[in-house]
Chains A and B, each alone.
Chain A
Amino acid sequence: MKEQQDGYLKKYFQLRKHNAQVAWKKMKMSKNCYIFLAPYAILFTMFFVFPVVASIYFSFTYYNILEPPRFIGLQNYISLLLEDDIFLIGIKNTLIIAVVTGPLGYIMSFLFAWLINELPRWVRSVAVVVFYAPSIAGNCYVIFSVFFRGDAYGWVNSLLMSVGIIDNPILWFTNPKYMLPVCMLVILWMSLGTGFLSFVAGLQGVDRSQYEAGYMDGIKNRWQELWFITLPSMKPMLMFGAVMSITQAFNVCDVTMQLCGYPSTDYAARTIVTHLFDYGFSRFEMGYACAIATILFLMMLLCNKAIQSLLRRVGT
């Protein structure tokens, strides 16, 4: 019995060795590939992989740049989740923003890409510029602070007051009640980004003959066409767009910081990234900031996995 087991083990290791040898040979044969990839791989590891690993490491330490990092175990996470009320506000706000603007922005991107798909060529290219421009317009969103100005001379306030909905001007960016909704509006305005371009291009590439076949098989209106033909053949683009929307939805910080101030009243517009910014660049508690970053990574990865498994079911 024992001998037999040893035999199996031996065989297993032999196989392993063989596999490794084959891989090594392959690697030797594709030496050129590695040479081509090397410059990018080195820089990528240095500026994207290593920082992530480093921030996971620092999240277990107390580190303030001046002193060498001191290992403190899970202390950072414990104080983040149990003692830091402002971080909980940040998580809540980020989740609210992500849940509202993420899916809505994603659907908007697809919807508009789909709606302009059948327009004549030149109208379509104008429409793409119009819809895409807000997301590349730098910090043009600060113009919203003119529309939503807090006094009676702001556009929205004066409009609402002349219609008679409100009596006193609303302090849009100072009153905690209105901060998030207005910010979400601005984020939605900017949400037709790279994913939108991907959708526009993908829709152009859907095979026309599939539609003809669909008409024969009794597809009645444009909604059925969308669900049974367009969406299934757009799956790869939908995945890409999802990655883009998650990125945008979870990394909100510039808009809230510029519009609502930093810090905002009662921390009502604080997001996870704002909190990270606060601890990393204002208080220099790097270990703590890295713990925040790690939590953000985990949330984004989980969300990405969930959405991918959801998207696999589209059109089936």
Chain B
Amino acid sequence: MSKKRKKELEEKPYHKPLVKRRKPNRSIAGDIALYIFLVLVAVIMVFPIVYAVSSALKPLDELFMFPPRIFPRNPTINNFTDLFVTLGKSWVTFSRYLFNTVFMTAVGTAGHLIIASMGAFVLAKYDFPGGKAFFKLVTVAMMFTGYVTAIPNYMIINKLGWIDTYWAIIIPAFASPMGLFLMKQFMEGLPTSLIEAAKIDGANEWKVFFQIVMPNVKPAWMTLIIFSVQGLWNNRASTFIYSEEKKTLVFALGQIQLGGIARTGQAAAVLVVVMIVPIIIFIFSESQILETMASSGLKD
């Protein structure tokens, strides 16, 4: 050891090293290879999305240019303004489509949050006959997607007289199994003593639920909201709703997308509008979602 270094150490014995001590099982070459690999994969993953955004910003002549460019030379927002013009000329106004989607998404998400959390609360914190069996059923139901149960669902909604109303979309969304599952797993992490303490102080179940449990599971709220919004925002609702004035924004945008080659620019703009909402919500709530997902594991 050089003299200078020795002196330095004497002066500041607890000097923090500039480079963090590495884990014992890692080689530098391996780490570098890993970084390169990850960057490559990330570029591949993100490329189609970047391309979708950039083609929405291209003027019409560049959209058909060969060889194609990744980034537009003269970026414009004409495609978006055209989109609003087209929507403005349609029989049902743009604001109505937007209202439909926002209304369904908001009501469906709020109801889902309350109903699923109520169910999750008792499933997580109380032991009562039938509770475990019910939860097992919910985990199995997570595997079923819309198309598979669509036919009987249609008949049920028809019997209830909800065809061509908002309820046909909103009410089934209340019962989404994924939300209950994540909420229950997260609530199991809450200390039971908290609830018992509140009970000793004389709170009944409702008070415990709304004043103790709900404020303590805010990260899980966020997660439920995201999953529910994702489902409802992308819902075309074309099976249950046939009046044009009750259809969703995504449906209207899909119609424009099918407009053929003359609408290529607008179709690209539609892609961006549809995908940007869930992605932005995800970016803002990422840490809360990950906190919830930490308790998402399925035990036998």
Contacts and interface: CB of A to CB of B under 8 A. Distances in A.
A118 B139 CA distance: 31
A58 B152 contact: yes
B177 A44 contact: yes
Given A33-B128, A50-B152, A201-B291, A239 B297 contact: yes
Contact of A36 (B51, B118, B172): B118
13 contacts: A26-B128, A34-B128, A36-B118, A40-B175, A54-B155, A125-B286, A128-B286, A130-B46, A138-B275, A158-B66, A200-B290, A244-B142, A280-B151
Interface in A36-54: 36-37, 39-41, 43-44, 46-52, 54
A91 interface: no
Contacts of B153: 47, 51
A51 B24 CA distance: 55
Given A40-B118, A289-B151, A143 B299 contact: no
Nearest to B296: A198
Chain B interface bracket (under 10, 10 to 19, 20 to 34, 35 or more): 35 or more
A220 B25 CA distance: 6
Interface stretch (B11-19, B71-79, B90-98, B130-138): B130-138
Interface string A93-123: 0000000000000000000100110100000
Interface in B8-51: 23-26, 30, 34, 37-38, 41-42, 45-46, 48-49, 51
B81 interface: no
Interface stretch (A167-175, A176-184, A295-303): A295-303
Contact of A112 (B41, B209, B278): B41
A197 B293 contact: yes
B19 to A, nearest CB: 13
A297 B300 CA distance: 21
Interface string B273-300: 0110011001100110111111011111
Contacts of A225: 25
A243 B298 contact: yes
B255 to A, nearest CB: 13
Nearest to B281: A136
Contact of B175 (A48, A116, A197): A48
Contacts of B141: 44, 48-49
Nearest to A205: B294
Contacts of B152: 50-52, 54-55, 58, 290
A49 B140 CA distance: 10
Interface of B: 23-26, 30, 34, 37-38, 41-42, 45-46, 48-49, 51-52, 55, 66-68, 115-116, 118-119, 121-123, 126, 128-131, 134, 137-145, 147-153, 155-156, 171-172, 174-175, 177-178, 180, 205, 209, 227, 230, 234, 239, 250, 257, 271, 274-275, 278-279, 282-283, 286-287, 289-294, 296-300
Contact of B48 (A125, A189, A247, A251): A189
Nearest to B158: A65
A255 interface: no
Contact of A189 (B45, B115, B275): B45
